[in-house]
Structure 1
Amino acid sequence: MAPLVRLPLVTDAASRVPAPTIVSRNRWRDVFDGTVPDDWEPTMTVSVIIPAFKSKTLEYTLASLAAQDYPEDLMEVVVLDDGGGEEPVELGEFIPKNTRLIRVHEVNDGWGRSNATDIGIKATTGDIIYWCDSDMILFRDNVRQHAKWGHFIPEAATIGEKAFIEEWDYTPEEVYNKVKAGTIGDDYDRSQLHEHWSKKIYRDTDDLNTSDGRNYSTHMGACATVTRAVYDRTFGQDTRLHLGEDTEIAYQLWQAGAVFIPAHDAIGYHMGPGTVQHQGQLVAWHNDVHFAQRMAIPRYRRKADNRIWEVPLIKVVTEVTQENARYARPSIDRILNNTQTDVHVVLVGPWSKLHDERRRMLADPMNELYLVKEWFRTDNRVIFAEETPQSVFPAPFRVDMPITAELSSESLQAMYVEMDKPWIGAIRYFTPGHDNDEAVTIWNSAVVERARAYVTDERSLEDVVAQIAGFEWHSSEAAQLADLRENEHLDEKVVRVDPETARLREQLREARPPHVPDSAARVVARSLNARTGGRAARIVRGVNRRLGGLPARAVRALRRRLSR
């Protein structure tokens, strides 16, 4: 691997400004460990969103919310009846002060938990959004234990503790009284109840401190919160989903800069088993198809290469002008021919100036732009844009590059690997023929989205990204970059060079002795093949196959010329 070069990006002015308290990576404990001052009182409003489908347990949930110790004037509850008018849910006698009921079928024709939740969130204004299922009994300080995190960490996304109870004989009144008295937790030994799968992840990641946010799937909608400031950076609930919608919005929250925190003191009983508890494999089989389209990480869900996914792993942003348009087609062809195929390209240019009116085609100084537009017209991996996008959300990685930079077939994969494994905030590559301010740069989107809120006149985006997850300079060799303007073969066909093919070529070159006559070469080849147990022959066949039979044809042609 090429040597790593680290250069500080903090300016003199920024270095004199105290760095704001920001969570680095997902290390929330470094900023706030959950211990509040003795005189602390909450000030943030909380909107509790409860979708309900013919629920028989909603009254227990509302009774437990009515008995919370969170200031009632800072909490609102919205119940979404998703039953389509059949078996309408009832709120019951014990409900929080600020409670509303919305019948979904009276608002829109949609259905399902995500659709109902979307309606509820849009109908509220709380500083903190609390997803709550209609089969939860929340302990007395549950809302307070969730909400405190948002007071100290602006990007907080908390996950509460669920204990699954299979049998109960409560009435709503008993739930209210027990929660109010703080004794509801005495009714079951939580150590004997079903342990949710997320607990193991917490143990393995130091309560997500070492997760870098990758374990976003632990943020589940039965009892979870996020600050509205982070939620508003997302696209919101994906109402097309009817299972797994909480995992999908958790992925969005991660890419929007959320900090995931297990709120172990925000305890509640889940009335009955969870969906995954008895149908885990079936649920995963169904959800993985939908998740693969929307979530580029983890990578195992995308079981096919050369596919176009709704949310790509990488978005490359580059700009074309009238002056450099001649480099656009070869540049983007090289991007799209990379071995990392999970890529979209945002091509920024003056596309609105192109028209269908009469013009002198060959004499038009903008003709090359017309040709670029036509060249990529049917490739929906290429997005034509008028302005450089501020964000590529929810794609996890963004590459900014000049149109005159040349990528090899392995460049994007090399950049992704260097960025992803240590989870760096950004890497800028020294780019041949280009100044440092136009060098190829790969950004970690989740880091960038968190950083934006802390950018000031004195502190640049690069500075804040560096503070959150590091900003590094790497050599051009590390990403196999070149100056496209120095390429004398721009008109040649762009061919993806698979790294395995290149490796086989090199092995074949090293295995074959130089300056051996053709007749003797066969003797040497047979001897070499025998000594290597047939390995040499396999290498030769592999190279020949990968190159479409070209080497074999070349050898035959050479023999014919030598035999004349």
Structure 2
Amino acid sequence: MTARITGNDYRSLTPPALGSWAPSLRVSVVVPAYGDQEKLDLALAGLATQTYPAALTEVVVVDNGSDPPLRLPALRPEDTRLIVCSVPGRAHARNAGLSAATGDVIHWLDSDVVLDRRSVEAHMRWHHAAPYLVVTGYLRFTPAGLPAPEVVAAADDLTKLFEPAEPHAWLVDLVERTDGLTANPHRAFSLHVGGATSVNAALLAAAGPMDTDLILGQDTEMGYRLAQAGAVFVPEPLSRAFHLGPTMRMRDKAPIDRVSHAFVADRIPSYRWLRSHPARQWKVPYVEVVVEPGGLSGRYTYDEVRATVDAVLAGTVPDVAVTLAGPWDRVGAEGRAPLKNPDLDLVLIRGHYAHEPRVRFTDEISAPPGSRAPSSPAWAVPYRLRLPAGWVPGEDTLARLLDLARDEGYGLVSVLLAEGDGDAAGPGSGRALVAARLERAAAFARAAIVRGEGEDLDAAVDDTFGVIWVDGETYGFAPEARALAGRRGAYRARIEAEAEVARLTREAERLRDQVVKWREEAGRWRRSTVELRREVGTLRKELAAARKVVQYGLLSSVKRAIIRRR
């Protein structure tokens, strides 16, 4: 039975201790290289003495057009091949190496990275525990000079050769502030870096090869697609490696981020801060709304579809695509009189949305998340809402459902729209349910990997990410069309509401500050009162003493007068 991991909490797995287990999976180490023969020699020397069995290891070095061409040194792993990729670019080189690799696990390695001799074994023990992991080792960046390959191969401890070195600060910070990537699983895919990361080959095949259209950010974009394919991301501190010199990002972070962000924003919907524009569209939308035939007929009607689609497009989530599945290829194929055409509703739907780029027509019934071809942008959409035609979401309905799914980590949010008579099943009920479903693609892809024979896919989603039922009316669904405020109007209303919340928050802060001042003032008055009481007490004591003195003086005078009279 395949091990099940909830969210990204890989801590439920117990990998074997280093040196105390018998591995069986084959690993392909893919090393794209361009020039720097001396550094490549050191990287191969580090691979030559790994504790992972040589019989289960192959190394594929990809020369990406070096001049002079690269060569394989004498000191290298036994099963090492050199291939040439004439198309410039690291993504092309890695794809060429991936095509040539035969292992169960693909281990990316930069040609200027030297692995600790236990590094590959530290990676591979995780891959034996579950078949959908992405493991990244800990890189340190060394300014040290380059030793001889024989010195690297003979070293039991690379720290003696390459320290002092700097840690991969960004990676370490990400791991530490997310409790080892378990506290914020939505960002875990950022751990996928090409310098020292290993990926299950079947998972990589599901996600697809490197995106060669990107200038920078290919590793992160690949990590995102791996997450969509169901991956769990594991930081492995026992896998240590030294990067020979700084990376390009360390030298020029700001300009590199500028270039990278311009392209990855189109492909990684989870980076919400890169999509701050209130209206524009992106290559991969944040959510796909699949409008399904509603009503007793099980067919589309123009009025129902229009009510639903128009409401979706007018909502406060502009980062959306709508999919309509049906026999669109036959619409308009015959020259029938319009009012006698049995496909009139389909003709009207197709005609009404023919020039709306956010509405997509497909002849196939929409497949479950994770089952589409990796080359399709829709495959990478993180969320999909399946909604019966005729049910109309409110302006903020979609945003609220997405917030619920994201903030609580649910793999499926089922929305109860209506309940009626019939035999259709619902949770613990014999009554027919009309429901919408917000599905998280990564959750369904993971569930497809781990579910047992005959197990319901939703049950596997519940076991790995969680499932919740909510009431449709509570989230703003209505069974009929209603006046639309328009997305801009709705957006303005939302902005105004947020501004009012901000104003009230500031007012509450002001009042809290005022209360603090009043409390301080009251404290000063209390202290003044105490001091006054002390002064009054002192005066009372002095007055009492004075009275005694006066009384004593009068008594003495009387006594003296009596004595004189005698």
TM-score (norm 2): 0.79
- CA drift at 1:20: 5.8
**2:226 matched residue in structure 1:** 253
Letter in structure 2 aligned against 1:74: L
Which of 477, 480, 486 is 1:495 aligned to? 486
In the superposition, relative to structure 1, how do residues 129 and 279 fare at CA in structure 2: closer, same or farther (>3 Å)? same
- CA drift at 1:401: 1.2
CA contact 2:285–2:320 (8 Å) conserved in 1: yes
**1:431 matched residue in structure 2:** 417
**1:93 matched residue in structure 2:** 74
Task: Give the 5 Å matches for 1:134-213.
Answer: 134-178=111-155, 182-189=156-163, 193-213=166-186
Q: Secondary structure at the match of 2:339?
A: coil
**2:385 matched residue in structure 1:** 399
**2:396 matched residue in structure 1:** 410
Answering whether residue 269 of structure 2 is matched by residue 296 of structure 1, we say: yes
Answering whether residue 438 of structure 2 is matched by residue 442 of structure 1, we say: yes
**1:66 matched residue in structure 2:** 48
Task: Give the 5 Å matches for 1:115-514.
Answer: 115-178=92-155, 182-189=156-163, 193-320=166-293, 322=299, 324-386=301-363, 387-391=365-369, 392-432=378-418, 436=426, 438-484=434-480, 487=481, 495-496=486-487, 497-498=489-490, 501=493
Q: Distance between the aligned counterparts of 1:245 and 1:46, measured in 2?
A: 22
Task: Give the aligned CA root-mean-square deviation in angstroms.
Answer: 2.4
Q: Distance between the aligned counterparts of 2:387 and 2:268, measured in 1?
A: 24
CA contact 2:300–2:345 (8 Å) conserved in 1: no
Higher relative contact order (CA 8 A, sep 6+): 1
Larger Rg: 2
Q: Distance between the aligned counterparts of 1:262 and 1:322, measured in 2?
A: 49
Cα deviations by residue, 1:308-366 (Å, 9 ceiling, x for unpaired) = 21111101112246453441122111111111010011211111222433222221010
Q: Distance between the aligned counterparts of 1:139 and 1:125, measured in 2?
A: 23
CA contact 2:144–2:163 (8 Å) conserved in 1: no
CA contact 1:256–1:393 (8 Å) conserved in 2: no
Structure 2 unaligned runs (5+)? 370-377, 427-432, 501-566
CA contact 2:401–2:475 (8 Å) conserved in 1: yes
Q: Distance between the aligned counterparts of 1:377 and 1:297, measured in 2?
A: 29
Q: Distance between the aligned counterparts of 2:496 and 2:197, measured in 1?
A: 52
In the superposition, relative to structure 1, how do residues 388 and 494 fare at CA in structure 2: closer, same or farther (>3 Å)? farther
Q: Distance between the aligned counterparts of 1:185 and 1:504, measured in 2?
A: 57
- The structure where helix makes up a greater share of residues is 2
Letter in structure 2 aligned against 1:388: S
In the superposition, relative to structure 1, how do residues 82 and 198 fare at CA in structure 2: closer, same or farther (>3 Å)? same
CA contact 1:50–1:134 (8 Å) conserved in 2: yes
Answering whether residue 31 of structure 2 is matched by residue 31 of structure 1, we say: no
Q: Secondary structure at the match of 2:384?
A: strand
In the superposition, relative to structure 1, how do residues 120 and 169 fare at CA in structure 2: closer, same or farther (>3 Å)? closer
Letter in structure 2 aligned against 1:224: T
- CA drift at 1:213: 4.2
Percent identity over the alignment?
28
**1:549 matched residue in structure 2:** none
In the superposition, relative to structure 1, how do residues 37 and 164 fare at CA in structure 2: closer, same or farther (>3 Å)? closer
Q: Distance between the aligned counterparts of 2:36 and 2:306, measured in 1?
A: 58
Cα deviations by residue, 1:425-452 (Å, 9 ceiling, x for unpaired) = 1111111367755411111221111111
**1:12 matched residue in structure 2:** none
Q: Distance between the aligned counterparts of 1:345 and 1:283, measured in 2?
A: 34
CA contact 1:401–1:438 (8 Å) conserved in 2: no
Cα deviations by residue, 1:265-291 (Å, 9 ceiling, x for unpaired) = 111110001222121111111100111
CA contact 1:339–1:410 (8 Å) conserved in 2: yes
Q: Secondary structure at the match of 2:82?
A: strand
Letter in structure 2 aligned against 1:77: V
Q: Secondary structure at the match of 1:160?
A: strand
Q: Distance between the aligned counterparts of 1:469 and 1:157, measured in 2?
A: 18
Structure 1 unaligned runs (5+)? 1-18, 509-564
CA contact 2:2–2:130 (8 Å) conserved in 1: no
Q: Distance between the aligned counterparts of 2:163 and 2:81, measured in 1?
A: 34
Letter in structure 1 aligned against 2:166: L
CA contact 2:147–2:161 (8 Å) conserved in 1: no
Q: Distance between the aligned counterparts of 1:113 and 1:208, measured in 2?
A: 27
Q: Distance between the aligned counterparts of 2:138 and 2:20, measured in 1?
A: 25
Q: Secondary structure at the match of 1:440?
A: strand
CA contact 2:140–2:242 (8 Å) conserved in 1: yes
Q: Distance between the aligned counterparts of 2:49 and 2:443, measured in 1?
A: 38
- CA drift at 1:407: 1.1
Q: Distance between the aligned counterparts of 2:434 and 2:90, measured in 1?
A: 46
Letter in structure 2 aligned against 1:332: V
Letter in structure 2 aligned against 1:501: A
**1:531 matched residue in structure 2:** none
Letter in structure 2 aligned against 1:475: D
- CA drift at 1:187: 2.6
**2:509 matched residue in structure 1:** none
